[in-house]
Structure 1
């Protein structure tokens, strides 16, 4: 069994790095490792956690919106509860590739609910930014 050729330390390579490897010591052209044991599962957990947090915030936001003077009628409350239920259901289906697209649609629907009350638009923008970050993390980790 032959050992990989090791370059001198003074040539800009870390001690013990193999020739033909990038500065991180990985083989050149090899897959980039995230350091996670199961990257797919970690990313699914991030998406599901984001959706569950969104559902919780939506349900808890109903009463403060009403108390601050928001004219939140029955249809608006039903819409908010429906969006929260949809978020929880989507969190449970994050194994499916289409669930990420459906989560993006859900963010758009929440912003559209801003027509019922301005605070729903604000929540929609905040959670759309959080969802965009989750999609970015997914792309970086899974490639």
Structure 2
């Protein structure tokens, strides 16, 4: 399932920006006999500095027939409060169930070192068992790629 998603997303996202990195992670628990597999795909609209970058996490679920797709889009520049609200409104017009978080890092009291805003959302897809299910999966991934292509251009 992970390989199928990576192949489809590579094709769909390449038309809307650029994939800058793909990482496969595998973690095995020392206490329990379980393994977690994840693919992380970094995606950006352009190669420019200080631009929004999306990290797509693909988590294979226990049944190995479904996968959770989680995306985090980081806007790595300082935005005023009204710009943040406008960003969130624009993001929600594309993906209604997204959330927004702000991060501020201080190196000492009152001295701001870094600020960023992040929009994230997730959904689950199933391994297609028929042509109709494959068409549904393709439609879902096409909509996801189109939304993500627009979200990395906001800000």
User: TM-score normalized by structure 2?
Assistant: 0.28
Higher helix residue share: 1
Tell me the TM-score normalized by structure 1.
0.30
Answer with 1 or 2: which has the greater Rg: 1
